[in-house]
């Protein structure tokens, strides 16, 4: 499955303007300006240490930018409370970091922070959506790596995010699990028009999954465009 | 034997210290025969120990002639020093010194004040300073243990904490279980002390009271009172410091700032 051929034509939902972050004397992200369109899958590609994950962590304000800012739906994201921002801009990390207990407890976690209760039918539907029907009462310790990552995805989706940040979501998985999660993410983006920003070091994966690609080197954006334009250049 | 040779308490004390030091050095020489060289370390430690404790004794001798309220200044100085020392256990946590000082002041200060008001601790300097210092020292140790454990837990679970933050959780919620385990772990020594009291050890205060001719039963009960006070002040200190320090692990924008690289 590929959605790379889709053209991003929606409205800009996320914009970074001269975004940067310094840690001590080191600039880990430098002067990055880019737009993310509604319903597109934007890939952030680069070698290890190029600032991909650092950039992603700035988008939901897990780290604080030291220069520039991010606009969510045209508003400076500092105008939102961090919790509201992170509800709207969800995140799935390389390691799923599931909370101890049952799968259902993990799915309920995000909404419960706002006092919302997720109905059992909604949990079942979400788990079915990520390819884990009947997993509601399963203990997270009994899940495979691929299953854990799917639960992590369902947990992020339970918050009904407008944008989903994916930080190397398949890099800790074996080849079979990787292809399964990859297809799942592609179908989610296609079926629900979810906007995604995905970090990957795997150029082939970026080519398969992304509508556009931002290529980073030493914390700087060096190319930005369609996969063929960036990766074949 | 020594008492017949030395007729003042001071000369008797130095003679007793000399014999204790000779005994300690004899053990050092015994260790040397087994190729374990402790000579210089032991000699320096013995010399340093006698100088420090004589200095403290001299200060106490001066204070004994001072009005009772001067003990408040001495106890305050001890609290400030304790806050600074135990904050070292919370490396990389901003504000650890302030949190430690406030927590020890509240925990040890409140318990000492209540017990002095109730008449459990005598207001005489000879009573208030030793008992107060014991309470402060134990509060300091508990605070250090709590902060050190909290720091280790947060560093070990940074991924889980940031995952919860990314899902919209409140910072204090993301570290609640680590704060609880820190309080529990920090109080283990105080609880064990109370549990083993009289079975495994006879603490110094009771020994001192017995040596000065107090009724053994009263000395035993008063020792229990002191250990129970220590548990109360340590518990309060640990609770307060953990409650306060968890907010210092995060920035105002709810970002985890306590990290191993930091």
- Which residues on chain B are in Cβ contact (under 8 Å) with A83? 168-170, 254
Residues B127 and B208 in one domain: yes
Residues B9 and B111 in one domain: no
Residues B58 and B130 in one domain: no
Residues B56 and B74 in one domain: no
Tell me how many domains chain B contains.
2
pLDDT of A147 strictly over 90: yes
Is the separation of the CB atoms in A63 and A21 below 8 Å? Answer: yes
Q: Is residue B260 part of a domain?
A: no
Instruction: Mark which of B65, B90, B109 sits at the end of a domain.
Output: B65
Give one DSSP letter per residue of B47-108, joined into a string: HHHHHHHHHHHHHHHHHTTS-TTHHHHHHHHHHHHHHHHHHGGGTT-TTHHHHHHHHHHHHH
Interatomic CA distance for residues B145 and B140, integer angstroms: 9
Quick one: pLDDT band at residue A7, thresholds 50, 70, 90? very low
Bigger pLDDT: B207 vs B183: B183
* A90: DSSP letter: E
pLDDT tens by residue, B135-148: 999 999 999 999 99
Q: Is residue B257 part of a domain?
A: no
Per-chain mean pLDDT for chain A: 91
Q: Is residue B259 part of a domain?
A: no
Cβ within 8 Å, pair B254-A83: yes
Q: Is residue B244 part of a domain?
A: yes
Instruction: Mark which of B65, B82, B99 sits at the end of a domain.
Output: B65
Residues B44 and B104 in one domain: no
Residues 6 or more apart whose Cβ sits within 8 Å of residue A63? A21, A54, A57, B255
Residues B106 and B203 in one domain: yes
Residues B105 and B178 in one domain: yes
- Which residues on chain A are in Cβ contact (under 8 Å) with B253? 61, 64, 78, 82
Residues B139 and B24 in one domain: no
What letters, b where the CB count within 10 A reaches 16 and e where it falls short, cover A120-150? eeebbebbebbbbeebbebebeebebbbbbb
Is the separation of the CB atoms in A195 and A43 below 8 Å? Answer: no
Residue range(s) defining the domain that contains residue B55:
1-65
Judged by a CB distance cut-off of 8 A, whether residue B168 touches chain A is: yes
Q: Is residue B261 part of a domain?
A: no
Cβ within 8 Å, pair B167-A60: no
Phi, psi for residue A37 in degrees, rounded to 5: -95, 155
Which class is domain A12-99+145-231? Answer: alpha beta
Is the separation of the CB atoms in B257 and B186 below 8 Å? Answer: no
Residues B57 and B72 in one domain: no
Per-chain mean pLDDT for chain B: 88
Cβ within 8 Å, pair B166-A60: yes
Q: Is residue B192 part of a domain?
A: yes
pTM: 0.82
pLDDT tens by residue, A36-66: 999 999 999 999 999 999 999 999 999 999 9
pLDDT of A9 strictly over 60: no
Quick one: pLDDT band at residue B201, thresholds 50, 70, 90? low
Residues B130 and B9 in one domain: no
| Nearest CA-CA distance, residue A231 and chain B, Å | 31
Residues B79 and B196 in one domain: yes
Interatomic CA distance for residues B70 and B63, integer angstroms: 8
The proportion of chain B whose per-residue pLDDT surpasses 90, expressed as a percent, equals 49
Judged by a CB distance cut-off of 8 A, whether residue A87 touches chain B is: yes
Q: Is residue B26 part of a domain?
A: yes
* A91: DSSP letter: E
């Amino acid at each position: 499955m590929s959605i790379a051929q889709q053209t991003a034509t929606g409205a800009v939902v996320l914009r970074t303007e001269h975004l940067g972050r310094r840690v001590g004397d080191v600039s880990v992200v430098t002067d990055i300006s880019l737009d993310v369109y509604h319903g597109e899958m934007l890939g952030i590609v680069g070698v290890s240490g190029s600032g991909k994950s650092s950039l992603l962590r700035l988008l939901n304000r897990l780290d604080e930018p030291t220069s520039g800012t991010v606009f969510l739906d045209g508003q400076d994201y500092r105008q939102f409370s961090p919790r509201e921002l992170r509800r709207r801009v969800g995140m799935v990390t390389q390691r799923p970091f599931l909370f101890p207990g049952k799968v259902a407890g993990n799915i309920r976690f995000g909404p419960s922070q706002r006092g919302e209760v997720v109905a059992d039918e909604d949990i079942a539907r979400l788990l079915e959506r990520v390819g884990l029907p009947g997993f509601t009462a399963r203990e997270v310790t009994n899940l495979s790596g691929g299953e854990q990552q799917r639960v992590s995805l369902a947990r992020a989706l339970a918050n009904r995010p407008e944008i989903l940040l994916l930080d190397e979501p398949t890099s800790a998985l074996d080849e079979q699990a990787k292809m399964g999660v990859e297809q799942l993410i592609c179908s989610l983006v296609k079926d629900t028009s979810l906007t995604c920003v995905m970090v990957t070091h795997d150029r082939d994966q970026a080519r398969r999954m992304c509508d556009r690609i931002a290529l980073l080197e030493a914390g700087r954006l060096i190319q930005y465009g369609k996969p063929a334009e960036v990766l074949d250049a | 034997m020594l008492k017949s040779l030395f007729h003042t308490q001071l000369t008797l004390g130095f003679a007793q210290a000399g014999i204790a030091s000779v005994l300690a050095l004899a053990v050092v020489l015994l260790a040397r025969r087994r190729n374990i060289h402790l000579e210089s370390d032991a000699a320096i430690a013995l010399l340093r120990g006698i100088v420090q404790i004589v200095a403290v004794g001299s200060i106490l001798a001066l204070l004994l002639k001072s009005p009772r309220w001067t003990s408040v200044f001495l106890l305050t100085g001890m609290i400030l020093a304790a806050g600074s020392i135990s904050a070292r256990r919370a490396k990389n946590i901003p504000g650890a010194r302030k949190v430690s000082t406030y927590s020890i002041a509240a925990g040890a200060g409140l318990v000492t004040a209540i017990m002095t008001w109730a008449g459990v601790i005598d207001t005489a300097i000879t009573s208030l300073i030793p008992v107060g210092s014991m309470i402060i020292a134990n509060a300091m140790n508990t605070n250090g243990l709590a902060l050190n454990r909290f720091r280790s837990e947060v560093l070990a679970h940074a991924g889980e904490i940031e995952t919860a933050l990314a899902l919209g959780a409140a910072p204090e919620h993301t570290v609640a279980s680590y704060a609880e385990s820190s309080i529990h772990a920090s109080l283990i020594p105080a609880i064990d002390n109370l549990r083993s009291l009289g079975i495994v050890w006879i603490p110094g205060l009771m020994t001192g009271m017995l040596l000065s001719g107090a009724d053994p039963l009263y000395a035993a009960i008063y020792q229990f009172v002191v250990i129970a006070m220590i548990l109360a002040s340590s518990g309060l200190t640990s609770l307060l410091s953990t409650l306060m320090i968890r907010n210092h692990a995060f920035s105002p924008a709810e970002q985890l700032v306590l990290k191993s690289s930091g």
